[in-house]
């Protein structure tokens, strides 16, 4: 099948397939006499694997390691598990950071109730106003204490 058909079958865009080939994540496709890429069912299956790994948030490096483990018949399940658990910890750290961002934004929005005045704690915070940042930290700390 050609690259468009491989893209449709795998769910990976033709542009990303070319990129993955360029960086060595997947092997370059065989070429026809007229230089068109040709993909086998096995290559499409590999592209699906990459797409699923990327959808779970694995980095390109982690995806490459997963591909290597998947291709290795003598692999140890523990190696795969260790890689997956490391990724879970990364995701949990990102989620915690995002929760902090949400809390900060909610706090700033709560303090931006006057729709007519020029003062805006959100813009002050984004502009790096030290007083606004200190106030936002104090408000966030007070909010945490109230929740406890």
Tens digit of pLDDT for each residue in 25-67?
A: 999 889 989 989 999 999 999 999 999 999 999 999 999 999 9
Task: Say whether pTM exceeds 0.85.
Answer: no
Of the listed ranges 7-11, 30-34, 121-125, 139-143, the one predicted with least confidence: 139-143
What are the residue boundaries of the structural domains of the chain, listed by start? 3-75, 93-147
Topology (CATH level 3) of domain 3-75? Multidrug-efflux Transporter Regulator; Chain: A; Domain 2 (1.10.1660)
Q: Is 143 exposed, middle or buried (0-12, 13-18, 19+ CB in 10 A)?
A: middle
């Amino acid at each position: 099948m050609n690259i468009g058909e491989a893209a449709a079958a795998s769910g990976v865009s033709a542009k990303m397939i070319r990129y993955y080939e360029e960086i060595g994540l997947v092997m370059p496709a065989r070429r026809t006499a007229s230089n068109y890429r040709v993909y086998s069912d096995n290559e499409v299956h590999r592209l699906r694997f990459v797409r699923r790994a990327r959808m779970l948030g694995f980095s390109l490096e982690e995806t490459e390691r997963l591909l290597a483990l998947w291709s290795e018949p003598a692999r140890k399940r523990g190696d795969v598990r260790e890689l997956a658990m490391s990724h879970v910890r990364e995701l949990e750290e990102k989620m915690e950071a995002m929760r902090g961002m949400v809390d900060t934004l909610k706090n700033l929005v709560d303090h931006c109730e006057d729709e007519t005045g020029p003062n805006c704690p959100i813009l002050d915070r984004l502009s790096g106003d030290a007083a606004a940042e200190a106030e936002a930290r104090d408000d966030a700390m007070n909010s945490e204490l109230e929740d406890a």
